[in-house]
Structure 1
Amino acid sequence: MTSWDEFSAAAPSLASRVRARFAAADSHVLATLRSDGSPRVSGSEIDFRDGEAYVGSMLDARKARDLQRDDRFALHAYPGIEEGGDAKIAGHAVEITDPAEVARLQDGQESHLFRLDLREAVLTWVEDNTLWIESWHPGSWVRFARPDNGPVVRTELELGVRVRVRGRMG
């Protein structure tokens, strides 16, 4: 399981930029899986506290039932904001079932609450004529560039420092 704090320690500059994108708006797009395996998207808020990231849901809502059945999720930061890039996280949503813990974290509201176990974080942005994609998975942090819509260049990152380059530089 990877908490928000563990992700932040592994890829601090990326985590900071992804969190800033989520902080830039209140509502984001949550993708879950329906019982037939097809995708469902819903509006959702994200909350960062105690070193974790959480999403909540009204009691018995479809997205909560989806996550209870299949805990895989993807959360896309509100896509209408151009500045700061396009941020997405994905992984497994673990339901908090202790009523006292839910009440503490939800300020007394009765609702479903899911802690996000991160398996992926991606930030995409355009700078000059280059599309940049920075991607983190546990144990891997890479940056891809597509200069002038040409071939992809992959750069592995470690704590924000270039380690090795594969492909040609544009």
Structure 2
Amino acid sequence: MKKWQIILGSILFLFLVTVGGYMIYAHINTKQADAAINKVIKEAGIPENEIIVVEKTTYNQKILSSEWCTKTITTEKDYQNWKKEVKQQQHFFNGEKVTSKNISRLDSKTNCELQYLFMFYKNPSKVNGYYVISGNSVGPDKAKYIFAYTLPKNNLAY
């Protein structure tokens, strides 16, 4: 074998081991975060059959920075309340008027503008929960009149 082939093969092997190791590491951290987030969801009293996953647990990290995972859900009750309210008011929570072109958004549960966002931080291990209305976080005082479930106080980001 030629010297350049050995060097190229070694570099390729190291690259594959590094990328593979990172992918395994991210997968393990995502599973741990999902378990911690699901525990908070259970503590909030949200039944499994009510949960609608808008965005599954996702691993995030900036270079040489902290690690975190996010998961976004809504619930069947929140979806039904949102759908009813939008039909009644004839506008979405973001202020957009309901038209024949966008009314089909009401048919997809993942379009619900009432969402619960969970962020898992690894160091120190903590899950923060947020109430989100149309992409904007709201405090627990406003959320208690709109959302179907109450997040545990020790997990609220406020």
Task: Please give the TM-score of this superposition, normalised by the length of structure 2.
Answer: 0.31
Structure number with the higher helix fraction is 2
Structure number with the higher strand fraction is 1
